Amino acid sequence: MKRNIFLLIAAWMTLSLGFVSCAEDTEVADPYANWQARNEHFLDSIVDVARTSTDEKWEIYRNYKVKTENSAITNPYDKVPDETDSVYIKVLKPGSGQTPLYTDSVSVYYRGSLINGEVFDQNFQGDLNTDIHTPTTFALQSSGYDGLVNGWVTALQYMKEGDYVMLYIPSDLGYGDSSQDAIPGHSVLIFEMLLEKVIHPKGIEDKSRAALRQENE
């Protein structure tokens, strides 16, 4: 009887060592393999849907910097935009409030993720619930390496208070080929976001800003 028990223990140990050896020999797949090509393919699919869809829920907006950076051109928007020069928005629920100016700040709920579903930043978890989650306030002018990416600033200048959207930002309007914390280079940025409130500066310029906003409506 004891001999049988020893044989069983020996067999179990042999199998266990075999499993460990197999586990060590098995290479873990790189979740970011062919990352640039995968992101380019993903963006192509989003662009195709956004450009061909007859659904009014899709919106496309050109990089807001095009006009200012090409001010010498009579109309820089005459040129058909490259797919990496625009942001793509799917409106999940439309709002009806104010649209922010570049000089405004905004209060936003957001969750940012990569094409593989990895979340890199968020101010709510699970399903968005404005009763328990807290929005974050950003100044649109804080664009740049340490501020908001061009894609965010572009999209927000077309959104209205209450707009709940999925925002797709090409890497050219995000961090380009540079890595940023948990975001590898060449990443398309995907945001589930709700523009909760537009906050414009208080003071002597209040009236002029309000007038400008009415003129643009």
Residues whose CB is less than 8 angstroms from the CB of residue 166 and which lie 6 or more positions away in sequence, other chains included: 89, 90, 92, 190, 191, 192
DSSP SS3 for 138: strand
Three-state SS string over 71-83 comes to CCCCCHHHCCCCH
pTM of the model: 0.77
Strand partners, 87: 61
Query: Residue 29, Cα to own-chain centre: how many angstroms?
Result: 25
83/144 Cα distance (integer angstroms): 21
Per-residue pLDDT of the chain (217 residues; tens, 9 = 90+): 555 555 554 555 555 555 444 444 556 688 899 999 999 999 999 999 999 988 779 999 999 888 655 444 444 445 556 789 999 999 999 999 999 999 999 999 999 999 999 999 999 999 999 999 999 999 998 755 457 899 999 999 999 999 999 999 999 999 999 999 899 999 999 999 999 999 988 754 554 454 455 555 5
Does domain 35-216 fall into CATH 1.10.1740.10? no
Q: Are 122 and 111 in contact (CB under 8 A)?
A: yes
Task: Give the pLDDT confidence score for residue 27 in this predicted structure.
Answer: 62
DSSP SS3 for 111: strand
Number of Cβ within 10 Å of residue 196's Cβ equals 22
pLDDT (tens digit per residue) in 5-57: 555 545 555 555 554 444 445 566 888 999 999 999 999 999 999 999 887 79
Q: How many helices (H) and strands (E) does the chain have?
A: 5, 7
